[in-house]
Amino acid sequence: MAGGVGAFTVTVVNRSNAPTENAGAGVVLAPGMFVAARTPGMIVTGDSVVWNLGAIPPGGTRRLPLRLRADSETRGLKCNLAYVGASNATRTRRNGLCTRVVAPG
C-alpha cells in the first residue's frame, strides 16, 4: 500500500562446493521505495542497500531482513534489483524483488 511498509527477506545461498571469499549482497531500490528500518550490518547509500557477508561455507545460507516503505505517491509494480557476488565467484547473480503498490483504502 502506498505509504505502507513491506517486509522482505533477501536469501543468499552458496551453491558451490567451496567457501565464498568476501561475499556481499545488495539491493538497488526502485524509484519511490525507501528503507523503513535499518538492521545490523546494513549499509544504506542513496537508493542502494549493501551487506558485507564475508565467507559463506559450501551450502551455507544468509537471510537478510529488509523492510521497505513506498512513498505516498507511489503506485504500480515496483521492482528492486537484488544482487550477490564474491571475490572468488565467477559470476554475480541478480534477481528482481518486486511488489505491487496500491492506493490506500
pLDDT digits (tens, 9 = 90+) for 75-94: 888 888 898 989 998 767 77
The CATH T-level fold of domain 5-101 is Immunoglobulin-like (2.60.40)
What are the structural domain ranges in the chain? 5-101
Residue 32, pLDDT score: 87
Q: What is the pTM of this model?
A: 0.83
- Give the Å distances, CA to CA, from 66 to 27, 59, 89, 98: 9, 22, 24, 13
Give the closest residue to 97 by CA, choosing from 66, 71, 72, 73: 66
Cβ distance 83 to 25 under 8 Å?
yes
- Give the Å distances, CA to CA, from 58 to 14, 21, 71, 97: 6, 11, 39, 25
Cross-strand partners of 73:
none
